[in-house]
Structure 1
Amino acid sequence: MSESNRTLLMCVAVAAAFAINMMGTTLPTPLYPIWQERLGFSQLTITVIFAAYAVGVIAALVIGGSWSDQLGRRPMLFAGLGFSAASACIFLIGDDLGLLLLGRVLSGVSAGIFTGTATAAVVELAPPAWAAAATLVATAANMGGLGLGPLVAGALAEYLPWPAHLCFVLDLVLIALAAFAVWCAPERVQRPARPRLRLQPLRVPASVRPVFVPAAIAGFAGFAVLGLFTAVAPAFMGEVLGHHNRALTGAVVFLLFVASTVGQAGQSRLPESRRLPLGCGLLMAGIVLVAAAILAASLALMIAGALIAGVGQGVAFRAGLGAVTAASPAERRGEVASTFFVVAYVAISIPVVGVGLAADVFGLPAAGVAFSIGVALLALAALVSLSRRARAAGPAV
């Protein structure tokens, strides 16, 4: 095997490990109704269990966001897989709220480690002829893995025995394979003699804020939608739409993440000035369809909303992150990008907990519609901010 082909194989293997790790973070999605029925949880408790994931992600981003530059990619990838395996083991034995919360936090830590480290590793391992596609491969591994989690767990829970546990057994097997892939991959980072491990600062320079604000608002809205589907989709599908098939629920969530991947991949073909506005517009259209699906109890509208909102989220996220990165000074891009990701993961957690609280008080349909209105208003606010910035910049923009 030529050196180029071997390098490409290692790149693909690490991308597969990336997808496996991210898949583990969304395996619980179709299982929430099982836990809710078995343990007597309210909808608020379910959303709190889900949101604990964001605590782990943010902690990993802030504490170890730049550690792979000092310690190397492989040690950090092994650490991420270790947290993922620990999370799967806890879900295998978890039968109370404390263990489920701990499992979600550890899962979030694994995702926080992998998001930046595995992306960098895939890009570094790609042979020169594939360099342009490496970032897209990493994106597809990330979002594809997130989408596969509900799809795999839903199918296993619906059609095979041990519905609340079997997917985590499979996850542990796949994590072992991912660890082997990481072990085989070469290390591209030159480790310094004295590694400097520090917290990742979260700051946005004043000069970047006019670009950061609309991008962050759009990113917040888009990630809130991802959080809604991965936390509350099973409840919507069962209680509102009348579809209790766990495999179907997993498939709907999978379509959302596939659509996001398509949006991220396709946004580069659009004029730069239109990417973020188009993403916001699609996000608004998609979430309006989700609200209509709730009101009409329509599965078709829910799928259409998931697809359109997913594409909008993908376009807005990739365009927003690209604009923020381009506007940032080279020496501060890491902290600005980390701040952007923290905003995104806050969006996954807090709004979804709000939905859980509102569902317990006002009912799930009212909570879903109110959430949809809030997301649409956020996307509209981002559009208004972009329009004002374009007018202030003058005809050259």
Structure 2
Amino acid sequence: MSVSPSPALLTTEPAPSTARPTKASAAPGGGTGTGRTARASHHLGFWFAAVAFMVLMAFGTAPTPLWPLYAARDGFGTTTMTIAFTGLVAGAAVSFLTLGHLSDRFGRRRVIVPALLVGLAAAVVLIAWPTLPGLLTGRVLNGVGVGLMASTATTYLHDLHREAHPDQRFSALPATVATAANLGGLALGPLVAGIMAQWAPAPLVTTQVAFAAAMAVCLVLVLSSPETVDRELQEQQRPSRFALLPGARRAFAAAAAMGFFSFALLGFVSSLGATMIHDRLHIDSHLVTGLTPFLMFTSAAVAQLAAARLGLPRTLRIGAVVFPIGLTLTALSLYHPALWLLLIAVSVAGAGAGLLFKSGVTIGATVAVPASRAGVLSVYFVIGYIGMGVPSILFTIATRYIELGSAVIVLATVLAIGAAVSVSLATLPRRGVRP
């Protein structure tokens, strides 16, 4: 599950070598290129890429309200449920680390197409292999697709908009659309799956069929979109996978830590939210289970969009305040069980996490060498996705020895302190790097 990397692209302009029309691509704003295959305009391709981004991210979070159904079908408990959830994390981390930089060299569309194909393969596995091994395999494949998509789609949106509107050098539209596609998809996935689990027949199959159909449509749309990377030029330049500007290591480390701690909250609610609602609130509604992460991710998206004009320092300060407040409310909602309090808590915490993640990606993209931006963002996402998985596993283990409410307090304290330290390091003056 990737939260929006897009705001980073407001602060820096990619090097020309990372976004040049290929010989067969359309001219800026044009309808077809000079190659054999007709391409959509860069303007249409921009929206095609946004839809594909949103659908694949939604597919990643769709199982959130379905975990109790999977557990009942395959007969596993909370620990196995958490491990199944982290299959996505493992697949995404490996994909980000080993494949996420490839679009800097081979092209954005040439990486997004395989991302959608892997997503389709994941859906087919989940349909055709209805056992725990099939579930684990499907989740890992889903993660690989997410890892290919997230940093690539973010950069692709910026490239396409620049080619379609060369006069709008620093437009906020790519950042806004990428935020909506990324976090909007993460929010819609649980809501759509929750609705299907509540009312559709055979929801474990119906949900996968619906998302497979949506990804197939997106594949057709992306195949008709223009490429924005000159492959021949990139073969000559061979950009580094991970290259930071001089003096930027501490800033990137602080940014990555913010990604880790903000994703830890998002992963915790996504993997264990259904269990908390069932055990503490005694609510069995799949719709309510899907509504909780929907509100969390929606709040994160809204907070990012609202902070688009605030600037990095103010966004950092607000996120550093809102995030621990949301964590405190989440812990309180377990000691005083009430659905309204839990929904408010995850909304506030999600907003804080969204602001911290936005700030982290802004810093990460600012300190990256432009020709390696996708590779640097991939490393950032690896750390974020590790945060999404590892703390949830440790929390599940901790609940074997301490009471659930106490475990939540410990988790909330660790995340709040970690976020505060990360923000403090990020706000220190950086030598040799413009903020």
Displacement, 1:132? 2.9
The structure richer in helix per residue is: 1
The alpha-carbon deviation at position 314 of structure 1 amounts to: 1.4
Question: Does the 8 Å contact 1:46/1:356 carry over to 2?
Answer: no
Instruction: Select the residue among 295, 311, 317 that pairs with 2:357.
Output: 317
Does residue 1:183 correspond to 2:223, yes or no?
A: yes
Q: CA deviation at 1:323?
A: 2.1
Contact 2:255 2:361 in 1 (8 A): yes
Does the residue aligned with 1:33 lie in a helix, a strand or coil? helix
Deviations 1:306-326 (A, max 9, x none): 111111111111112212332
Alignment-derived partner of residue 100 in structure 2 = 65
**Counterpart in the other structure of 2:56:** 21
Gaps of 5+ in 1: none
Matches within 5 A, 1:207-222: 207-222=247-262
Q: Which has the higher contact order (CA 8 A, sep 6+)?
A: 2
Partner residue, 1:227? 267
Task: Report what 1:380 is aligned to.
Answer: 420
> CA–CA distance in 1 between the matches of 2:418 and 2:197?
36
TM-score (norm 2): 0.82
Bigger drift between 48-57 and 61-70 goes to 61-70
Alignment partner of 1:353 is 2:396 = no
> Alpha carbons of 1:203 and 1:102: their partners in 2 closer, same or farther (altered >3 Å)?
farther
Q: Are the counterparts in 1 of residues 95 and 144 from structure 2 also a CA contact under 8 Å?
A: yes
Aligned to 2:16: none
Distance 2:350 2:240 in 1: 29
Contact 2:245 2:367 in 1 (8 A): no
Q: 1:350 to 1:202 in 2, by over 3 A?
A: farther
Moved more, 69-78 or 190-199: 190-199
Rounded Cα–Cα distance in structure 2 between residues aligned with 1:15 and 1:277: 30
How far apart in 1 are the matches of 2:292 and 2:90?
26
In structure 1, what is the Cα distance between the partners aligned to 2:181 and 2:312?
24
* Further displaced range: 208-217 or 276-285: 208-217
Does the Cα contact within 8 Å between 1:91 and 1:100 map onto a contact in 2?
yes
Number of residue pairs matched?
391
Partner amino acid, structure 1, of 2:291: A
CA distance in structure 1 between the partners assigned to 2:130 and 2:237 by the alignment: 37
CA-to-partner distance for each residue in 1:278-334, whole Å, 9 max, x for gaps?
Answer: 212111111111111111112112111111111111111111221233234546655
1:160/1:95 CA distance change after superposition, 3 Å: same
State the partner residue of 2:185: 145
Q: Which residue identity is paired with 2:117?
A: G
* Gap change, CA 1:77 and 1:289, over 3 Å in 2: same
- Given that residues 22 and 146 in structure 1 are in contact (C-alpha distance below 8 angstroms), is that contact kept between their aligned partners in structure 2? yes
Matched, 1:77 2:83: no
Of 286, 301, 306, the residue aligned with 1:266 is: 306
Which residue of the partner structure matches residue 15 of structure 2? Answer: none
| Distance verdict in 2 for CA 1:242–1:106, change over 3 Å | same
**Identity of paired residues, percent?**
29
Q: How far is the alpha carbon of 1:210 from its aligned partner?
A: 3.1
Confirm whether residue 292 of structure 1 aligns to residue 332 of structure 2: yes
Does the C-alpha gap of structure 1 residues 273 and 7 become closer, same or farther in structure 2, counting only changes over 3 Å? same
**1:40-89 deviations in Å (ceiling 9; x for gaps):** 21211111111111111111112112212332222211211111011111
Q: Per-residue CA shift, 1:137-159, capped at 9, x if unaligned?
A: 01211111111110000110111
Q: Which amino acid aligns with 1:56?
A: G
1:328-347 alignment runs, 5 A limit: 328-330=368-370, 333-347=373-387
Contact 2:99–2:148 (CA<8 Å) still a contact in 1?
A: yes
CA drift at 1:348: 0.4
Counterpart of 1:169 in structure 2 is: 209
Q: Which moved more, 1:91-100 or 1:147-156?
A: 91-100
The equivalent residue for 1:98 is: 133
2: distance between equivalents of 1:206 and 1:359?
A: 44
Q: Is the 8 A contact 1:64 1:198 kept in 2?
A: no
Tell me by how many angstroms 1:256 deviates.
0.9
Contact 1:215-1:276 within 8 A present in 2 as well: no
Amino acid at match of 2:266: L
The runs of 4+ residues in structure 1 deviating greater than 6 Å are 196-200, 203-206
How far does the alpha carbon of each residue in 1:100-136 deviate from its partner, in whole angstroms, 9 at most, with x for none?
1111110000001110222222222223177430122
- CA deviation digits over 1:9-64, x for unaligned, max 9? 33212211111111111111111111222322121111111111111111111211
